[in-house]
């Protein structure tokens, strides 16, 4: 009975995430229109809400074309890897004390980092299997960017692990009952958020898909549902990074008066809107600037955060 309930819970969560990621495509365009003083989608349905349905119909019925020069098997598998690894990351997210797929995994944080790391294989394989120079360059950019910023993400969350003494995400949330970790770990929070933006390939760090340089980057040759999986996977990645930021630094479901799940979704929505605002506000840097920014600035700051956290814990003890 417990296995059946867990399975139903997992299906409900994953379906909700996919629907939320699809809805986010409309939300993003509406918010960008508002911030940039234009309309955005408003023709199909009330306030353009049926634009999501129109986009899905287009993706479903568009010709699913595989280039004759591509490696067909790997070309087909690559988007599924991206989609699967992102959705697997939600397996360890504790939405409330009793709601989540696996609330008691003692390596939950490591599992999350592992899933975000594995998603790079889908991107690299997509670029390589397309047998296109633009796609290959986009895949190589994505690999270097994700591997680099994964290092800083891991170092940033180490401060939280040191304060909590656990990799279990439920324990991390419960440790923030009286004080959110964003206060003692503000530098770690900033570093984690920047690394998360790079992991999700969002502006200003969407260099693997730089339209003015590489066409569409690693998914230039993709169409129909294969492209749709990359598309939905990116928006699901935004939701995943936002929820993980809330879990690690903003107390998860902790909050007064309202039910815990309301607090969790409210905080996560705030970070999702912040991701969208970055797209409206910031320009894209050069690729060499992106890499230099990571290794010359974020790495020293990550190590400094670890040193200061260790020294403070030693002094406190």
Share of the chain above pLDDT 70, in %: 97
pLDDT at 193: 92
Residue 141 burial (CB count, 10 A): 25
| Number of domains within the chain | 1
What pLDDT score was predicted for residue 209? 66
Determine the distance from the C-alpha atom of residue 265 to the mean position of all C-alpha atoms in its chain, rounded to a whole number: 15
**Which has more pLDDT, 272 or 148?**
272
| Residue range of the domain that includes 73 | 64-316
pLDDT at 178: 86
Helix (H) or strand (E) holding 269: helix 260-281
Least confident of 8-12, 100-104, 213-217, 273-277: 213-217
Of 102-111, 165-174, 199-208, 211-220, which has the strongest mean pLDDT?
165-174
Residue 190 has pLDDT above 90, yes or no: yes
Q: How far is CA 128 from CA 56, 148, 216, in A?
A: 27, 20, 14
In this predicted structure, what is the pLDDT of residue 1? Answer: 57
Residue 201 lies in a domain: yes
Q: What are the tokens at 138?
A: 């986009």
Q: What is the pLDDT of residue 303?
A: 92
Q: Is 194 inside any structural domain?
A: yes
From 147-156, 198-207, 257-266, the region with the lowest mean pLDDT: 198-207
Res 206 pLDDT > 90: no
pLDDT of residue 214: 58
Please report the beta strands in the chain, taking only residues with DSSP state E, as ranges in sequence order. none
Domain membership of residue 35 (yes or no) is no
Residue 26 domain-assigned?
A: no
Q: Rounded distance, CA 133 to CA 25, Å?
A: 29
The end-to-end CA distance of the chain, in Å, is: 45
Answer whether residue 9 is part of any domain: no
**Would 264 be classed as within a structural domain?**
yes
More confident residue, 127 or 182: 182
Question: Tokens 């890499």 appear where?
Answer: 291
HSE-up of residue 259 (Cα within 13 Å, Cβ side): 7
- At residue 211, the pLDDT reads 59
- 280-316 per-position pLDDT tens digit: 888 888 888 888 888 888 889 999 999 999 999 888 8
**Looking at the predicted structure, is the pLDDT value of residue 98 above 70?**
yes
pLDDT at 212: 57
Least confident interval from 103-107, 193-197, 252-256: 103-107
Contact 22, 225 (CB under 8 A): no
Q: What percent of the chain has pLDDT over 90?
A: 19
Dihedral sign computed on CA atoms, order 237, 238, 243, 245: positive
Rounded to an integer, what distance in angstroms lies between the CA atom of residue 237 and that of residue 196? 9
Q: Which of 84-93, 211-220, 254-263 has the lowest mean pLDDT?
A: 211-220
Say what the pLDDT of residue 307 is.
92
Res 191: pLDDT: 93
Q: Compute the chain's Rg from CA coordinates.
A: 20
Tell whether 15 is covered by a domain: no
pLDDT over 90 at 47, yes or no: no
Whether 278 and 63 have beta carbons less than 8 Å apart is answered as no
- Average pLDDT estimate for 37-63: 83
Mean predicted lDDT score pLDDT of the chain = 85
pLDDT tops 90 at residue 33:
no
Q: Is 270 left (phi over 0), alpha (psi -120 to 50) or beta?
A: alpha
- Rounded to whole angstroms, the Cα distance separating 243 from 272 reads 9
What pLDDT is recorded for position 186? 92
pLDDT at residue number 58 = 83
Residue 215 lies in a domain: yes
Tokens of 131: 């047998």
Q: Is the pLDDT of residue 229 over 90?
A: no
């Amino acid at each position: 009975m417990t296995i059946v309930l867990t399975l139903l819970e997992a299906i409900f969560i994953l379906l909700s995430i996919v629907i939320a990621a699809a809805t986010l495509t409309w939300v993003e365009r509406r918010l960008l229109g508002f911030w940039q003083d234009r309309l955005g989608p408003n023709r199909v349905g009330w306030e353009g809400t049926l634009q999501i349905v129109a986009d899905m119909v287009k993706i479903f019925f568009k010709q699913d074309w595989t280039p004759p020069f591509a490696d067909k098997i790997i070309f087909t598998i690559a988007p599924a890897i991206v989609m699967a690894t992102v959705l697997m990351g939600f397996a360890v997210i504790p939405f409330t004390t009793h709601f989540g797929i696996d609330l008691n995994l003692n390596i939950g944080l490591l599992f999350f980092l592992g899933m975000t790391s594995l998603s790079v294989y889908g991107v690299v394989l997509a670029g390589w299997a397309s047998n296109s120079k633009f796609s290959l360059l986009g895949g190589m950019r994505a690999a270097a960017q994700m591997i680099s910023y994964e290092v800083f993400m891991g170092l940033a969350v180490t401060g939280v692990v040191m304060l909590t003494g656990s990799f279990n995400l439920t324990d991390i949330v419960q440790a923030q009952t009286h004080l959110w970790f964003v206060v003692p770990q503000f530098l770690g929070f900033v570093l984690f958020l920047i690394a998360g933006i790079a992991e999700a390939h969002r502006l200003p760090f969407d260099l693997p898909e730089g339209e003015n340089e590489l066409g569409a980057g690693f998914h230039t040759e993709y169409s129909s549902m294969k492209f749709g999986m990359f598309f939905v996977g990116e928006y699901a990645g935004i939701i995943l990074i936002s929820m993980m930021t809330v879990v690690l630094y903003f107390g998860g479901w902790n909050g007064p008066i309202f039910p815990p799940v309301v607090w969790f979704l409210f905080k996560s929505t705030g970070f999702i809107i912040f991701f969208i605002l970055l797209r409206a506000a910031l320009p894209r840097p050069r690729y060499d600037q992106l890499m230099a920014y990571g290794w010359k600035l974020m790495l020293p700051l990550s190590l400094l955060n670890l040193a200061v956290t260790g020294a403070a814990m030693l002094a406190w003890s």
